[in-house]
Amino acid sequence: MTPLTPPPAPLDVSPSHRSRPRLRALTAGLLAAAVLGAPAPTAAESAESSESSESSESPASVESSGSAEETVTSASSRQASARGRLVRVSVMASGLDVPWDVRPIGGRTLLLTQRDTATLHTWRRGVVRRVRFPSRQVWVSGETGLMGLEVDPRFQRNRRFYTCQGATRSGGAHDVRVIAWRLSKDATRAGRPEVLLKGIPATSGRHGGCRLTVTSNGALLVGTGDAATSSNPQDTTSLGGKTLRLNRATGRPWPTNPWPDARSKKRRYVLTYGHRNVQGVMQRRNGTLWSIEHGSYRDDEVNLLRKGGNYGWDPGPGYDESVPMTDHSLPGRQRSARWRSGEPTIAPSGGTFVGGREWGPLKGTMAVAALKGSQMLFLRFDSDNRLTRVRAPRALKQHGRLRTVVQLPGGSLVALTSNGDGDDEMLRIRPGA
């Protein structure tokens, strides 16, 4: 089946990454009133325009119409939010410092990483507690530090969790590693580190990835960045600019990866290649695997992952970022994105597929947190995994940059902000009343 590129969603523009959230929210709101509210393409329209964009790469235009701040157009959406509250948002914790990832660990407790301080904390009933963790062993530089987090499906028995983090190699150079840990019974200490995978390339810390998720078959899926090095994405013997799959117990390559017998050990880990900076990896309930990645000056992407697929980023020589995010002129076949931002980018980060009837019109959508765009998109894909609709609730445009979003066992979503200055928040998102 041919992957198709639907027209890009209409997006707002937030000119400053780090302006004060209130000002930014106001700006985003005003701009959103101008550019959001365009009806999403119908399935037929997106299929049609996708055919042409498969080879041309130029985003099909989506005309703006109406001024509703939420792109709600269907009858089923109307009943859920007559005056437009798709979601309700409350603050679970504040005073955080660039939190990067969060997971529930049972007992209504969450575990979260903070990138720049390389610290690990628990959250329970509004109380944030630091976990003893070897923060000084984490290499922190630019976009790299203590990043992705995942909890083992058997955590209640084995207390095992996983991080993706910057590290220093024996010669003094750096890499990014996936490490397994055990959390003490009282959740105050992380110990027994096991390096599952090392050698994910790093340079200055730019484009360090790195997101983790355990999929339904038990594999650990890892999304990496290209380390701002032009040769990495298309080099299937490099771990950079890839999605990788491995055995979460042993760290060995996953046996059904596309090149399990490759001479290069690194190549055995590769699931897909040709990515720029993967910030989200997730599984849809139909079993499909997806990634979210940062575009250059254009075309952030949501990709449907196909075993051995090339996603078309090849910024060489000299890290030339003027090339397309999916360059079909490369040899062989390149896979087009299922959603892309067009220009400008919004810097999407982590995301999750939203489950549960209580979510009404958002049930089954992919929630995607945006840093630069300071909002959350809910992307609806049809049963053929084609984009049909995009919504961006106003209530999620008032908290500045959003880093990631995960779903809790009770059904609510948790998102992290990334505004810096030690003033970041953890937000609870519930379906609108």
The residue ranges that bind Ca ion (CB under 5 A) are 311-312, 325-326, 328, 330
CB-CB contact of 85 with 72 (8 Å)? no
CB of 364 to Ca ion, least distance (A): 24
* Tokens representing residue 97 in the block: 């410092």
Contacts of 323 (CB under 8 A, 6+ apart): 296, 313, 314, 315
- What's the rounded Cα separation, in Å, for the pair 415 and 413? 7
CB of 148 to Ca ion, least distance (A): 20
Cβ closest to Ca ion, residue 27 vs residue 303: 303
Closest of 400, 424, 416, 322 to residue 367, by C-alpha? 416
Cβ closest to Ca ion, residue 7 vs residue 361: 7
CB of 338 to Ca ion, least distance (A): 10
Cβ closest to Ca ion, residue 269 vs residue 313: 313
Cβ closest to Ca ion, residue 167 vs residue 368: 368
- What's the rounded Cα separation, in Å, for the pair 55 and 301? 16
CB of 324 to Ca ion, least distance (A): 8
CB-CB contact of 201 with 232 (8 Å)? yes
Cβ closest to Ca ion, residue 139 vs residue 290: 290
CB of 377 to Ca ion, least distance (A): 18
CB of 41 to Ca ion, least distance (A): 20
CB of 337 to Ca ion, least distance (A): 6
Helices vs. strands in the chain: H and E counts, helices first? 4, 24
Closest of 271, 268, 175 to residue 221, by C-alpha? 271
Cβ closest to Ca ion, residue 253 vs residue 351: 351
- What's the rounded Cα separation, in Å, for the pair 70 and 395? 10
- What's the rounded Cα separation, in Å, for the pair 334 and 181? 37
Cβ closest to Ca ion, residue 274 vs residue 400: 274
User: Angle 418-421-427 (CA atoms, 0-180°, nearest 5)?
Assistant: 40
Closest of 355, 353, 337, 333 to residue 345, by C-alpha? 337
